Amino acid sequence: VPGILVVLLLFIYPFLHGLVLSFEPKEGGGLANYLRFFSQPFLYNTIATTLWIAIPTTLVNVGLALPIAFGMRRNSAWQRVLTTILVLPITLGTVLIAQGLLTYLGPQGWVNRVLIESGLASSPIRLTHNYWGVFLALSIAEFPFAFLLILSYVTGIDPALPRAAATLGAGPGRQFLHVYLPLLAPGLAITFCLCFVQAFSVFPSAVLLGASAGPTRVIAIAAYTAAFEEYDYSMALAIAMIMGAVQLIIVGAVLALRGAVYRGPASGAKG
Contact residues: other proteins, CB under 8 A = 1-4, 6, 64, 67-68, 71, 82, 85-86, 88-89, 92, 96-97, 99-101, 103-104, 108-111, 113, 140, 143, 171-173
> 3-class SS at 100?
helix
| CA 271, 65, 207, 193 torsion-angle sign | negative
Separation between Cα atoms, residue 271 and residue 268, nearest integer Å: 10
d(CA 187, CA 66): 11
Minimum distance between the CB of residue 71 and other proteins, rounded to whole angstroms?
Answer: 5
Provide, rounded to whole angstroms, the least separation between the CB of residue 104 and other proteins.
4
In the structure, how many helices (H) and strands (E) does the chain have? 14, 0
Contact 234, 24 (CB under 8 A): yes
Helix (H, G, I), strand (E, B) or coil at 75: coil
41 vs 173, beta carbon nearer other proteins: 173
Minimum CB separation from other proteins for residue 143, in Å?
Answer: 7
Q: Which is nearer to other proteins, 149 or 250 (CB)?
A: 149
Q: How far is the CB of 153 from other proteins (least distance, A)?
A: 18
Q: Which is nearer to other proteins, 107 or 268 (CB)?
A: 107
Contact present, 101 and 140 (Cβ < 8 Å): yes
Would you say 147 or 153 has its CB closer to other proteins?
A: 147
Q: What is the smallest separation between the CB atom of 169 and other proteins, expressed in angstroms? A: 8
| Residues 32 and 25: beta-carbon distance below 8 Å | yes
Least spacing, CB of residue 8 vs other proteins, in Å: 12
CB 137 within 8 A of CB 92: no
Nearer to other proteins, 55 or 60 (CB): 60
Q: How far is CA 96 from CA 13, 20, 31, 118, 205, in A?
A: 33, 36, 40, 28, 10
DSSP state of 11: I
With respect to other proteins, which residue has the nearer C-beta, 37 or 147?
147
